[in-house]
Amino acid sequence: MTDAVAPAIPIRAVPVSPGRTPWKQEAIGFAIALLVLALLPLVIGDTYSRHVLIMVFIYAVVASNWDLSLGYGGVFNFGHLALFGIGVYAYSLLTKLVGLDPWLALFAGGVIATVAAVLVTIPILRLKGIYIILVTFGFAQLVMQIVISQSAITGGTQGLVRVPGLYWFDHNMIRDGKFAYFYIALGLLVASTIFLRVFVRSRLGAGVVALRDNEEYAISRGMSLVRQRMITLAASAFFTGMAGAFYAAYQRNASVDVFGMSLATIILSMVLLGGASTIYGAIIASFVLTVFGEAMADFGAWRPMITALLIIVVMLVYPSGLVGMIRAGWGAIAVRMKRTA
Amino acid sequence: MSSAFADIAFGGLFQGSLYAMMAVGLALVWTTIGVFNFSHGVLMMLGAYVAWQLIEIGLPAWAAFPLAIVVLGGVGWLLQASVVRPLIGRPNIVLVVVITTLAAGSLIENGALTFWGPRSKQLPSLISGNATIGGVGVSLHQIAIIVITPIILGALWLFLNRTRLGLAMRAVAQNEDASHLVGLNVTALYGLAFGIAASLAGLAGIFIGGYRFMSPVMGSDPLLKALIVVVFGGISSVSGPIFAAYLIGFFEAACNYYFGLYWTPTLLFAVLILILMVRPEGIFASRSRGLA
C-alpha cells in the first residue's frame, strides 16, 4: 500500500495557449473556407444569389467587428451601426461632392469611422454597462439627426442617389453579373477577419479580454482602461467604416436607413446568435440569417416574425449561440467516436 | 412674449407627461430586475391597438381603455415570463435581454402589422373639444393627459411607498437575496414590475393614439425619448426619471420654439452625451440602486 498509485488520469502537457486552437489548424481551416467561398461564383451564376452573398459578406464584416468591441471588449457598444453609416456617408459625400477617387474614398470611409470611434470613446470612458448602451445609442441617433438636419448636403431623409461606384480599369462592374463586386466584398471580409483574429490572439487582445473579465484586477496589474477601450473601439471601427463605404459603392446610394433600429437589430442578432467573442460565430450567423431571410422572402410580414422567434429560441436554449451549438454537437460526435474506437 | 411662454410651458407639460409615463416603466423594470426592456415602445403601440380593437368590437371608450391597460399588464407579465425570467442568472443577462426584448418587440410589431394592417387608425380623445389658454390653442385631450399623468404617477408612488406589495417590490430592488430569505416571492414580483411597466406603456399608447394617427412603428420614437429621459434622471430610481421627463419636455418645447424642429433631436442628444460625461449616474440619481 505504500507504493505510489499511478494516477488514474494521465497528465497531459500544459497547452501553450489554453482554450485556443493552434494557429496552424486555424490557418488551414481559414484557407479551406476562403477557397470554397472564392470558387462559389463559378458554381453560382445568377446575379441574385451573388447579390445575397455580397450582402452576407458586408454584414459579416460589420457583425464580426462589432463582436470585437461587444464580445471581446465587453463594451456594450450600441453605436456600431453609426460607424457603418459614417462609412456610407463618408464615401458618398467624398466621391459625389468632393470628387475623390472611389478607391481612396473607400479607404477614407474606414479612417473617418475610426476617428469617430475614438471620439465616441471619450464620453464612455467613465461609464459602465447600461450607460454605455445609452450613450452609444445616443451617439448613433446624434449622427442620424445630423445627417437628416443637413439635408442640403446629405439629402436628408431622401438620401443620396447616383453615388459613383468602384471601377477596375476598363472593366464594367455593372454588367459582369456582380463578379467583381463579389471578390471585392470577399477580399474585404478576408482582410477584416485576418485582422480581427490576429488582434484577438495577440497580447493586446488578451489584455482586452482581461479587462472584460476582471476590470479591477487588470487595472491593478497596470493595464490602462482608457487606452484599451480606445484601441478596441478604434480597431473595430476601421473595417466597419470600409464595409459602409463599400456598401454605398455597391448600392450606389446612401440613405438614413443604415442608422435605423431594424438594421441594428438584425446585425446585433448576428453577433449574439453566432455566439459573442468568437469572430467566426458572427460570420456564420450573418450567413445563416441572411440566407434564411432571403429564403423566406415569400413569407412577407411573417419573415421578421419567424426570424425574431428563431433568435429568442436560440438565445434561450443556446446562450453561447450557434458556435456553442456547433461545439456541443462536435463534442457529442467526438465522444461517440471515442466510444466506438 | 407671454404667448411664447405659454407655448413652451404647455408643450413642456404635455410632452413631459408622455415621457414620464414611458420612462417610469423602463426605470421600474430596471430597478427591480436589472434589465432594460427594449420592447417598451412596442408595448405602447400594442396598448393603443388593443384599445382600438376593443372599441371596434363595440365597447365604449370608458370601458375599452381600462380593459386595454389590463390586457397590456398581462402581455407584460407574459413577456417577462417568456423572454426575461429564463435568462436570470446568466452572466451576460443585460446584453442577452436587450436582444431578446428587441426580438420580442419585432415579433409583436410585425404581428400588429399583419393583424391590423399598415393603415392609420385613431382612437377617440379622452375629452373632445378645444380651449385657449394664455393665447395658445390647446385640445382638451392634451389637457386631460397633463392632469391625469401626475395622478397616475402619484398613485404609483403611493403604491411603492405605502402598500405592502410596493414595499416588497422595493425590497427586491434593494437586495434580491435578502428578499428571498425573508420569504418574498421574487419571481412573482418580477412579473408584477413588468406588468405595471407594460400597463403604463399601454396607457401612454392610448394617450398618443387619441391625438395622432397610430401605426405599428409608433413606439420607436417614444422609446428613444424614454431612454434619454432615464439617462437624464438616472435609471436607479423611479422619481428621478419623472423629474427628468418634464425637464426634457420643457427643453424640447423651448428648442422647438427657438431653434426649430430639425435641430431639437440633435441638441437633445448632444446635451445627453455632455451630461453623461459630467455625471454618469444621471442628474437626479443618488449612487445607490433603489425604487422611489
Q: How far apart are CA A96 and CA A108, in angstroms?
A: 14
A85-89, A174-178, B150-154: the lowest-pLDDT one? A174-178
Q: How far apart are CA B96 and CA B100, in angstroms?
A: 6
pLDDT winner (highest mean) among A166-170, A275-279, B18-22, B287-291: B18-22
Q: How far apart are CA B83 and CA B171, in angstroms?
A: 23
H helices, E strands: number in chain B: 11, 2
Predicted confidence at residue A61, as pLDDT, reads: 96
> Any chain A CB within 8 A of the CB of B86?
yes
Please indicate whether, in this complex, the C-beta atoms of B228 and A312 are within 8 angstroms of each other: no
Nearest C-alpha neighbor of B192 from the set B228, B144, B159? B159
Predicted confidence at residue A110, as pLDDT, reads: 95
DSSP letter string, B170-192: HHHHH-HHHHHHTT--HHHHHHH
How many domains are contained in chain B? 1
Higher-scoring residue by pLDDT: B156, A145:
B156
Predicted confidence at residue A11, as pLDDT, reads: 54
Query: What distance in Å separates residue A209's CA from the closest CA in chain B?
Result: 14
Predicted confidence at residue A212, as pLDDT, reads: 85
With vertex at residue A333, the alpha carbon angle to CA A331 and CA A335, rounded to the nearest 5 degrees, is 70
Q: How far apart are CA B120 and CA B136, in angstroms?
A: 28
Predicted confidence at residue B69, as pLDDT, reads: 95
Mean pLDDT of B165-181: 86
Q: Would you place residue A1 in the very low, low, confident or very high pLDDT band (cuts 50, 70, 90)?
A: very low
Mean pLDDT of A91-97: 92
CB contact at 8 A, A84 and A62: yes
pLDDT reading at A126 higher than 80: no
CB contact at 8 A, B102 and B81: no
Q: How far apart are CA A197 and CA A272, in angstroms?
A: 18
pLDDT winner (highest mean) among A104-108, A306-310, B254-258, B273-277: A104-108
* Residues of chain B found within 8 Å of residue A81, distances taken between Cβ atoms: none
CB contact at 8 A, A269 and B103: yes
Residues 6+ away with beta carbon under 8 Å from A39: none
Q: What is the dihedral of CA B265, B271, B274, B279, to 10 degrees?
A: -120
Buried b (16+ CB within 10 A) or exposed e, A275-301: bbbbbbbbbbbbbbbbeebeeeeeeeb
Q: Per the confidence metrics, is the pTM higher than 0.80? A: yes
Please indicate whether, in this complex, the C-beta atoms of B103 and A312 are within 8 angstroms of each other: yes
pLDDT, mean over chain A: 84
- The total number of residues shown for chain A amounts to 341
Facing B273 at nearest CB: one of A138, A276, A319: A138
CB pairs under 8 A between A and B: 118
* Residues of chain B found within 8 Å of residue A263, distances taken between Cβ atoms: none
Mean pLDDT of B138-154: 90
Please indicate whether, in this complex, the C-beta atoms of A316 and B83 are within 8 angstroms of each other: yes
Predicted confidence at residue B119, as pLDDT, reads: 82
Upper half-sphere CA count for residue A146 (Cβ side, 13 Å): 12
Is B263 within the bounds of a domain? yes
Q: How far apart are CA A135 and CA B137, in angstroms?
A: 37
- In DSSP terms, B132 is beta-bridged to B137
Query: What distance in Å separates residue B34's CA from the closest CA in chain A?
Result: 10
Please give the grid coordinates belonging to residue A116. Answer: 469617430
Nearest CA in chain B to A260: B220
Is B123 within the bounds of a domain? yes
* Residues of chain A found within 8 Å of residue B36, distances taken between Cβ atoms: 130, 133
> Any chain A CB within 8 A of the CB of B114?
yes
DSSP letter string, B198-245: HHHHHHHHHHHHTTS-B-TTTTHHHHHHHHHHHHHH-TT-SHHHHHHH
Query: What distance in Å separates residue B271's CA from the closest CA in chain A?
Result: 10
Q: How far is CA A155 from CA A138, A264, A302, in A?
A: 22, 22, 32
CB contact at 8 A, B158 and B273: no
Tell me how crowded residue A248 is: count the other CB atoms within 10 A of its CB.
Answer: 32
Per residue in A205-259, pLDDT tens?
A: 888 888 888 888 988 988 888 888 899 999 999 999 999 999 999 988 888 888 8
Asked if the interface predicted TM-score (ipTM) of this complex is over 0.85, the answer is no
Please give the grid coordinates belonging to residue A261. Answer: 433600429
Q: What is the H or E stretch that residue A136 is in?
A: helix A129-149
- In DSSP terms, B130 is beta-bridged to B139
- In DSSP terms, B214 is beta-bridged to B121
Predicted confidence at residue A10, as pLDDT, reads: 53
Q: How far apart are CA A204 and CA A213, in angstroms?
A: 14
**Domain, as residue range, for B37:** 3-278
Is B22 within the bounds of a domain? yes
Q: How far apart are CA B232 and CA B285, in angstroms?
A: 9
- φ, ψ dihedrals at A38, nearest 5°: -70, -30
A8-12, A55-59, A226-230, B248-252: the lowest-pLDDT one? A8-12
Upper half-sphere CA count for residue B195 (Cβ side, 13 Å): 14
Query: What distance in Å separates residue A286's CA from the closest CA in chain B?
Result: 15
Residues 6+ away with beta carbon under 8 Å from B22: B40, B41, B44, B200, B201, B204, B222, B223, B225, B226, B229, B245
Q: How far apart are CA B250 and CA B265, in angstroms?
A: 13
Predicted confidence at residue A46, as pLDDT, reads: 85
Q: How far apart are CA A262 and CA A269, in angstroms?
A: 11
Nearest CA in chain B to A312: B100
CB contact at 8 A, B43 and B201: yes
Predicted confidence at residue B272, as pLDDT, reads: 79
Please give the grid coordinates belonging to residue A102. Answer: 472611389
Query: What distance in Å separates residue B161's CA from the closest CA in chain A?
Result: 26
Please indicate whether, in this complex, the C-beta atoms of B106 and A304 are within 8 angstroms of each other: yes
pLDDT reading at A306 higher than 90: no
Per residue in B193-248, pLDDT tens?
A: 999 999 999 999 999 988 888 888 888 888 888 888 887 787 677 788 888 899 88
Please give the grid coordinates belonging to residue A5. Answer: 498509485
Q: How far apart are CA B283 and CA B232, in angstroms?
A: 6
Nearest C-alpha neighbor of B38 from the set B99, B83, B90? B99
Please indicate whether, in this complex, the C-beta atoms of A312 and B95 are within 8 angstroms of each other: no
Per residue in B38-93, pLDDT tens?
A: 899 999 999 999 999 999 998 898 899 999 999 999 999 999 999 998 888 887 78
What residue segments make up the domains of chain A, in order of their start? 37-303
* Residues of chain B found within 8 Å of residue A150, distances taken between Cβ atoms: none
Please indicate whether, in this complex, the C-beta atoms of A308 and B230 are within 8 angstroms of each other: no
Predicted confidence at residue B8, as pLDDT, reads: 85
Predicted confidence at residue A70, as pLDDT, reads: 87
Predicted confidence at residue B230, as pLDDT, reads: 82
- 3 state DSSP class of B80: helix
pLDDT winner (highest mean) among A5-9, A128-132, B219-223: B219-223
> Any chain A CB within 8 A of the CB of B118?
no
Is B292 within the bounds of a domain? no
Q: Based on the number of CB atoms within 10 Å of its own CB, is A101 exposed (0-12), middle (13-18) or buried (19 or more)? A: middle
